Amino acid sequence: MRRILLLGATLVPLMAAIPDIESSSCPRRDEPKYLGSKSCQKCHYKEYASWQKTAMAKSFEALKPGAAAESKKKAHLDLAKDYTQDAACVACHVTGYGKPGGYPEVGREWTVEEKARAPALEGVGCESCHGPGGDTSPFKKDNKDYKWADIAKMGAIHPDEKTCVSCHNKKSPSFREFIFADKIGKDTHDLLKLKRDHGCDHQHREGK
């Protein structure tokens, strides 16, 4: 069952259905790994700084006991419960849940490496919307004039409404009408003008 917690005007998924995932202990060789939002910061520092202020970035905190009390009361959720240990909730409050390099699955013993990487993947980060950066991030750093077609083949994503409604959906006990166009640039991060023409296959909204 997917549920979503409302924090102010921003929708934050709380009890999301676990998406179909492959065990991170046996990833496909060709499946890109998640790196965490810090890997995006160097080249996209303004977007990163803007994203840090959003409820998306802080969504994992809402799962902790006593956090987001008003919203949990309205949704008839247990204020004392630690939802960070509930897989159905965690899937939509972290980045790359159960995927290679992503936030490790809850309910089992984590390896030393998984314990170390988990904090960097808390919250709905860059890769939740734009795809894992394991292949695209190093390619973009080495090829400043890259083309969208190149990184799209590596797993880069232009987020659309379908990207969001996997968590923001009517199965939430506190769901409000979700309008994709109203969220982009407000509840995600500022829209900034691109420095280079990357030959994108869609029209960018005019940024700052």
pLDDT tens, residue by residue, 177-198: 888 888 888 889 998 888 888 8
Q: Does 206 reside within a domain?
A: no
Q: Does 123 reside within a domain?
A: yes
Mean pLDDT across the stretch 125-140?
Answer: 95
Burial category of 23 from C-beta neighbours within 10 Å (exposed 0-12, middle 13-18, buried 19 and up): exposed
Q: Does 200 reside within a domain?
A: no
Are 51 and 130 in contact by the 8 Å Cβ rule? The answer is no
Phi, psi of 197 (to 5 degrees): -90, 110
CA distance 145 to 94: 31
Q: Which of 197, 200, 184 is nearest to 152 (CA)?
A: 200
Query: Facing residues of 150 across strands?
Result: none
Q: Which of 168, 10, 1, 14 is nearest to 90 (CA)?
A: 14
Predicted confidence (pLDDT) per residue in 63-112, tens digit: 999 999 998 998 899 999 999 999 989 999 999 999 999 999 999 999 99
Mean pLDDT across the stretch 135-151?
Answer: 93
Our count of domains for the chain comes to 1
CATH code at position 149: 1.10.1130.10
Predicted pLDDT of residue 20: 42
Handedness of CA 33, 144, 120, 68 (dihedral sign): negative
Predicted pLDDT of residue 84: 97
Q: Does 26 reside within a domain?
A: no
Q: Does 205 reside within a domain?
A: no
Q: Does 127 reside within a domain?
A: yes
**By percentage, how much of the chain surpasses pLDDT 90?**
56
Instruction: Give the range of the structural domain holding residue 138, as residue numbers without chain letter.
Output: 4-19+31-183
Q: Does 189 reside within a domain?
A: no
Q: Does 179 reside within a domain?
A: yes
Please give the C-alpha separations between residue 198 and each of 59, 140, 193, 202, in angstroms, as whole numbers.
31, 11, 12, 11
The residue type of 162 is K
Q: Which secondary-structure segment (H or E) carries 5? A: strand 4-7
